[in-house]
Amino acid sequence: MEKVREEGKVVHILVIPFPDEQGHINPILQFSKRLAFKGLKVTLLNLLHENNTLTTYDPSRCSSSNSIINVLERPRAPYNSTEPESIESYMHRLKTSICFHLTKLVTQYRNSNSPFTFVVYDSLMSWVLDLARAFGLRGAPFFTQSCAVIAIFYHIIHGSCKNIPPVAPAETRCELSLTLPGLPLDLHASDLPSLLLPNNNNPQQNNPFFRKLMIDQLHDLPDLMFVNSFHALEPQVIEFIQSQMPLKTVGPTVPSILINKELMDDDHVYGMNLINSTDQDDNNKIMGWLNSKARHSVIYVSLGTRVSNLGEEQMEELAWGLKATNKPFLWVIKEPQFPNSFFEREVKEMHGMVVKWCSQVQVLAHESVGCFMTHCGWNSVLEAITCGVPMVAMPQWGDQMTNAKFVEDVWNVGVRVSTSQENGMIVRREEIELCVRTVMEGEKSRKLRQNGRRWMKLAKEAVMINGNGTSDKNIDDFVKQLRNP
DSSP string, 28-39: HHHHHHHHHHTT
Beta bridge partners of 36: none
Q: Residue 4: pLDDT above 50? A: no
The DSSP secondary-structure symbol of 343 reads I
Whether the per-residue pLDDT at 142 is higher than 50: the answer is yes
Assess contact for 350 and 463: CB atoms under 8 A. Answer: no
Higher pLDDT, 393 or 359: 393
Please give the span between the terminal C-alpha atoms of the chain, in angstroms, as a whole number: 27
Give the CA count within 13 Å in the CB-facing half-sphere of 164.
24
Q: Which pLDDT score is estimated for 136? A: 96
- Residue 66: phi and psi, rounded to 5, are -125, 25
Q: Which residue has the higher pLDDT, 262 or 159?
A: 159
- Who contacts 209 (Cβ-Cβ below 8 Å, separation ≥6)? 87, 88, 91
pLDDT-based confidence at residue 202 (cuts at 50, 70, 90) = low
The pLDDT score that the predictor gives to residue 175 is 46
The pLDDT assigned to 304 comes to 82
Say yes or no to pLDDT of 344 above 60. Answer: no
Nearest alpha carbon to residue 218 among 157, 127, 278: 157
Residue 326: Cβ-neighbour burial (10 angstroms; 0-12, 13-18, 19+) = exposed
What pLDDT does residue 277 have?
47
Render pLDDT for 108-125 as a digit per residue (tens, 0 to 9): 999 899 999 999 999 999
Q: Between β-strands 177-178 and 138-143, what pairing exists: parallel, antiparallel or unpaired?
A: unpaired
Q: Which residues are catalytic?
A: 24, 122
59-85: per-residue pLDDT in tens?
Answer: 545 545 556 889 888 888 888 878 888
Mean pLDDT of 416-435: 86
Read off the pTM: 0.90
> In DSSP terms, which residues pair with 273 in a beta bridge?
56
Q: What is the pLDDT of residues 300-322, one digit of tens each?
A: 999 986 655 677 888 889 988 99
Position 402, amino acid: T
Residue 339 has pLDDT above 60, yes or no: no
Q: What is the pLDDT of residues 459-480, one digit of tens each?
A: 999 998 876 899 999 999 999 9
Burial of 200 (0-12, 13-18, 19+ CB in 10 A): middle
- Taking CB atoms within 8 Å and a gap of at least 24, the contacts of 437-445 are 437/325, 439/370, 439/371, 439/390, 439/391, 439/392, 439/414, 439/415, 440/296, 440/299, 440/325, 440/327, 440/370, 440/371, 444/415, 445/390
Which secondary structure element, helix H or strand E, spans residue 3, and what is its range?
none
Q: Around Cβ 1, how many Cβ atoms within 10 Å? A: 9
For residues 351 and 171, the model is more confident at: 351
Structural domains of the chain in order of their starting residue, each with its CATH number = 12-144+221-266+463-483 (3.40.50.2000), 279-356+367-458 (3.40.50.2000)
CA distance 130 to 137: 9
Q: How confident is the model at residue 211 (pLDDT cuts 50, 70, 90)?
A: confident
Helix (H, G, I), strand (E, B) or coil at 159: coil
Mean predicted confidence (pLDDT) in 131-135: 96
Tens-place pLDDT, residues 277-289: 445 567 889 999 9
Residues 99, 253: Cα–Cα separation, whole Å: 27
Which own/partner contact pairs does 233-237 have at CB distance under 8 Å and 24+ positions apart?
233/385, 233/411, 233/455, 233/458, 233/459, 234/146, 234/147, 234/148, 236/182, 236/183, 236/184, 237/146, 237/147, 237/148, 237/151, 237/182, 237/183, 237/184
Please state the separation of Cα 42 from the chain's center in Å: 21
Please say if the pLDDT value at position 156 is more than 80: yes
Under a CB-based contact definition with an 8 Å cutoff, are residues 15 and 71 in contact?
no
Half-sphere exposure of 284 (CA within 13 A, CB side): 2
